[in-house]
Amino acid sequence: MKSIQRCPWPTDELYRAYHDTEWGVPLHDDRRLFEFIVLEGAQAGLSWHIILKKRAAYRKAFARFDPEKVARFGRVKIGQLCADAGIVRNRLKIESAVSNARAFLKTQEEFGSFDAYIWRFVDGRPRINRWRSMSEVPARTKVSDAMSKDLMARGFRFVGSTICYAHMQATGMVNDHLVRCFRHGELGGARGGTAPSRCKDRVFERILAHPPFFTHVRSGHLHKN
């Protein structure tokens, strides 16, 4: 019997669904990109699995990831969130989600969309890697270093280079599925070279039709899991 080949890190149903439908899919929707920034900031120091389990609570706590609403969160609202057991109760992380929403809106204004801004770091096209084992997958690259520096200059917090690289993996700016994983080929790896910036295959359209989800696994955590 031939079983489906996957990356080694999805160890339960939650992770498998995430790996199979979200992680590495080129993402161009600003609301979902903002969702990523909030969740990623919350993750710092924790496992991505914990954050995935809290995702529904995050969506509720952070106005369905509407950056305009989150940017207006004041002291009272932040105090309430600090008492919300559904999310990571860390004041610094919660405050940074609000200041990141403000930086996000400014960036949107400057570039027309956050999508247009962030994809410039890879010239609008996913980079298709060909890793054979997890040990080859980097935790950061020169591109993520540059992205981190630029985001910080724009006032974003919790955007270190490894977080930025995790963002690139999750949102399909790089295809870091191992070559033997079935998703590597589905997300452009089968064609070799570089995939179109907006993957038009059926899988991608199906995913776009889903409720807003977004992705991401940090390679650092993957090694540990």
Residues that bind Zn ion (CB under 5 A): 7, 177, 181, 183
> Could you tell me if 175 and 190 are in contact, meaning their C-beta atoms sit under 8 angstroms apart?
no
Which is catalytic among the residues 40, 117, 131, 165? 40
In the complex with Zn ion, the residue whose CB is nearer, 20 or 115, is 20
Q: Which candidate in 48, 58, 117, 131 is catalytic?
A: 48
CA distance 189 to 57: 34
- In the complex, what is the shortest distance from the CB of residue 195 to Zn ion, in angstroms, rounded to a whole number? 15
In whole angstroms, the minimum distance from the beta carbon of 25 to Zn ion comes to: 11
CB-CB contact of 27 with 214 (8 Å): yes
The residue among 140 and 183 lying less far from Zn ion, judged by its C-beta, is 183
* 117 among known catalytic residues: no
Report yes or no: 97 and 39 within 8 Å, Cβ to Cβ: no
The nearer residue to Zn ion, 157 or 180, going by C-beta atoms, is: 180
CA distance 223 to 225: 6
Q: Is 172 exposed, middle or buried (0-12, 13-18, 19+ CB in 10 A)?
A: buried
Q: What is the CA radius of gyration of the chain?
A: 17
Residue of 9, 15, 18, 119 with catalytic role? 18
Identify which of residues 60 and 132 has a Cβ nearer to Zn ion in the complex: 132
Q: How far is the CB of 162 from Zn ion (least distance, A)?
A: 19
- CA–CA gap between residue 197 and residue 151 (Å, rounded): 22
Q: Examine the residue annotation and report whether 23 is marked as an active-site residue of this protein.
A: no
Name which of 209, 220, 222, 224 is nearest 25 in CA terms. Answer: 209
CB of 115 to Zn ion, least distance (A): 24
Give min distance, CB of 168 to Zn ion, in A: 15
Q: Which two tokens stand for residue 41?
A: 């900031």
For 200, residues 6+ apart whose C-beta sits below 8 A from its C-beta are none
Catalytic residue status for 109: no
Residues 6+ apart with CB under 8 A from 148: 159, 160, 161, 163, 164
> Which of 107, 215 has the CB closer to Zn ion?
215
Catalytic residues: 18, 40, 48
